[in-house]
Amino acid sequence: MDIEQKQAELIHHFVKQASPLKGSLLVPVIIEATSHPSLFSFSEILAVPSFAELEGTENSRHLDVLRLFAHGTWTDYKNNAGHLPELISDQVLKLKQLTVLTFAETNKVLPYDQLMQELDVTNVRELEDFLINECMYAGIVRGKLDQLRRCFEVQFAAGRDLRPGQLGNMLNIIKLSLGKLYLVPFAIVRLATSENLLVSIQEKIKWADTMSELNKKHRKDVEDRVEEVKKSLSLKADIDFRGHEEIYSESGGVMDYEEDRSRPKRYCDAASFFLKIKCTVDVRLCEAASNILKQQMISALGDNDTSSDSEVFIVSLD
């Protein structure tokens, strides 16, 4: 069970207990409530109408004690001890705990010297034991003990009851804060604009870096493909060149690659060789045709010769 829920249950218990009581019957309720180890809020109990009826009676001193525990400190008790009943040990411990809460409301760093004076503690060891065992373990404050700087750094403190007039001061502070808040939207707009501009610049830088990387990758891919094509063409040319050398090399052998490179005119020699063969074949065919034609003409003339004086002109095709 957290401290706030436990506080609410205790307050409800004491309010219910005090509501039907009158006069001196309320004194034990006040003593029990102000000495309870888990109760640190008293304003709702103080608001019970039967407690207000103690004002101006012989039991009004006990009403002042209840008011002291709602809003006062240990120093306030010492200054008015002659007009208040003597406190029991549990009440003294409770009032000192409430004193620490009072200082922790407005200060986040509590000097040891100030706390020792306010709590009537004589040495640092006793003060630190009180802060640890009676305050932090009770859950009403959290903080750090700094022995080097001799102070208690407050990280959390439970709130006390509002003192008379404190609510008005809080309302004035809130109004002042609201007046300052009118300027906040303009600051927020400027801040948001600056943040948006910064985000836009960062996005553009990121986009430029990405495009640069893509361009580098694309360029490398193109260069790799070009190298592959060069190697492929070079290999194909070598294979074709070696194939022709195997066909036209002497003694049916395959020409060595270095030898092949030293004779770049081999293809021209092969073409000339084929041309010579074709021309020779054509000449032989022409000679054979010419001879056959000669024989046919001689035979034809011999059969039709009517005069010995006739002149025969034979055109040689040689």
**How many angstroms separate the first and last alpha carbons of the chain?**
135
- In a 10 Å sphere around its CB, with 0-12 CB exposed, 13-18 middle and 19+ buried, how is residue 191 labelled? exposed
Of the two residues 162 and 87, the one the predictor is more confident about is 87
DSSP codes of every residue in 63-118 = HHHHHHHHH--HHHHHHTGGGSPPPPHHHHHHHHHHHHHHHHHH-SEEEHHHHHHH
Q: Count H helices and E strands in the chain, helices first.
A: 13, 3
Give buried/exposed letters for 274-303 (b at 16+ CB in 10 A, else e): eeeeeeeeeeeeeeeeeeeeeeeeeeeeee
CA separation for the pair 73, 64 (Å, rounded)? 13
Q: How confident is the model at residue 202 (pLDDT cuts 50, 70, 90)?
A: confident
Q: Within a 13 Å sphere around the CA of 186, how many CA atoms are in the beta-carbon half?
A: 4
The rounded distance, in Å, linking the Cα atoms of 201 and 198 is: 5
Tokens of 169: 């001061």
pLDDT at 293: 63
- 23, 56 in Cβ contact below 8 A? no
Q: Is the pLDDT of residue 282 over 60?
A: no
Question: How far apart (Å, rounded) are the C-alpha atoms in residues 140 and 3?
Answer: 8
Closest CA to 6 of 129, 136, 158, 130: 158
Residue 141, strand partner residues: 157
Give the best-scoring range by mean pLDDT among 126-135, 206-215, 235-244, 261-270: 126-135
133-189 residue pLDDT tens:
999 999 999 999 999 999 999 999 998 988 776 666 667 667 676 766 555 555 555
